[in-house]
Amino acid sequence: MRQVVPVLLVVLGLGIPSRPAVAHGPLYRNEILFAVGTMPASATSKGLTLYGSYTLRFTRHIGWEVLGGMWFFSSRRDAGISLEDELSNNYDVQPTAECTLEALINSNLIFTPLRGDLLVLGDVEIGGEVFLNLGYAMGSFSNDRSASGLDAGLGVRLRLGHHTSVRLDLREYLFFHEGSHEHNFHLSVGLGLGF
């Protein structure tokens, strides 16, 4: 079943017409995102992340984040504040090995229901969008295991110009592994380049 999900996403993506069928088509169809983020609520996966993705927009409301990838480039362990250290120092408890999320890849449908104008400092006008995403994610963990899961979230885009925008993404990754599940809330801010 897990293998079917990405195939289904591809089929859905290819099935959507490349020309906008409605009056409000996107101005550009491709977007590359570079983002920096964190998982503020995770007990184990602290630190900063790098996130990148490529998105294909079919209409102004529907797009497909074909492939995204996230990698922790600074972990709690690197910062000397790993859970293991904390439990050992504060409670004299030696935990079993930590299993932390180290990287993931994902693919999402992007739905943008809200678009309009925003005034910055009451003067400068920029375009804004609110979008939702839902898709598939596969995570790689520190104990050499991987797990599939869901990726759902909400984002805000502030357009800086024709081809550039700032994106704020709030995403929840829910990984399933051997009957258990693990939440990972990811917050990122990035620069989107459209063409």
Partner 1 sequence: MKSPAVTLVTSLVLVSLSDAHATSDVTVRFALVVGHNRAEGKGRADLRYADDDAVATHRLLVRAGVRSVLLARLDADTRALNPRLVPDGPPRWGELAAALKRLRREMRASAREGARPEFILFYSGHGDVSGGEGYVLLEDRRLTRSLLYGVVLSGLPTARNHVVVDACKSYYLAFDKGPGGKRAPYHRSFIGAPSRPRNTGFVLSTSSDRDSHEWERFQAGVFSHEVRSALQGGGDADNDGRITYAELGAFLRTANRGISNPRFRPDFVIRPPGHPSGNLAQPFLSWPRPDERSAALVVDRPGHLYLEDVEGRRLLDVNAASGQSLMLRLPRERLFLRRADNSREYGLELGEAGGGTAGGAAGGRTVRLSRLRATPLSLARRGAMHLALERLFAGGFSKREVAEFVIFFERECLPPGAAPPAVVVSGTDPLVVRLSHELDTEVGILPADLYTTSLQLSVGYAWHMTRLWALQLRLAYLRSYAKDLREQLEENFGIHRRRFAEIDYFGEIGVLFKPIHGRLFLFEGYATHWEVFLSAAAVVGRMEGGDRTEREPSGRGPRVFVGGASGIGLRWILTRSVSLRSDLRQMVLHADGDLYYPLAVTLGLAVNIGGDA
Contact set with partner 1 (CB under 8 A): 20-25, 27-28, 40-41, 43, 60-61, 83, 86-87, 90-91, 93, 113-122, 125-130, 156, 158-159, 161-162, 185
- What's the min distance (Å) between Cβ of 45 and partner 1? 12
Q: Which is nearer to partner 1, 93 or 134 (CB)?
A: 93
Distances, alpha carbon 25 to alpha carbons 21, 57, 59, 167, 184, in Å? 8, 9, 5, 20, 34
Beta strands in the chain (DSSP E): 30-38, 47-57, 62-75, 101-120, 124-141, 146-159, 164-177, 180-194
Residue with tokens 């598939």: 136
Query: Left, alpha or beta for 79 (phi > 0: left; psi -120 to 50: alpha)?
Result: alpha
- What's the min distance (Å) between Cβ of 186 and partner 1? 13
Q: Which is nearer to partner 1, 24 or 145 (CB)?
A: 24
- What's the min distance (Å) between Cβ of 23 and partner 1? 5
Tokens of 177: 């592994």
Q: Which is nearer to partner 1, 9 or 167 (CB)?
A: 167
- What's the min distance (Å) between Cβ of 166 and partner 1? 11
CB atoms within 10 A of CB 89: 10
Q: Which is nearer to partner 1, 4 or 124 (CB)?
A: 124
Q: Which is nearer to partner 1, 131 or 141 (CB)?
A: 131
Q: Is 46 helix (H, G, I), strand (E, B) or coil?
A: coil
In terms of Cβ atoms closer than 10 Å to its own Cβ (0-12, 13-18, 19+), residue 60 is middle
- What's the min distance (Å) between Cβ of 102 and partner 1? 19
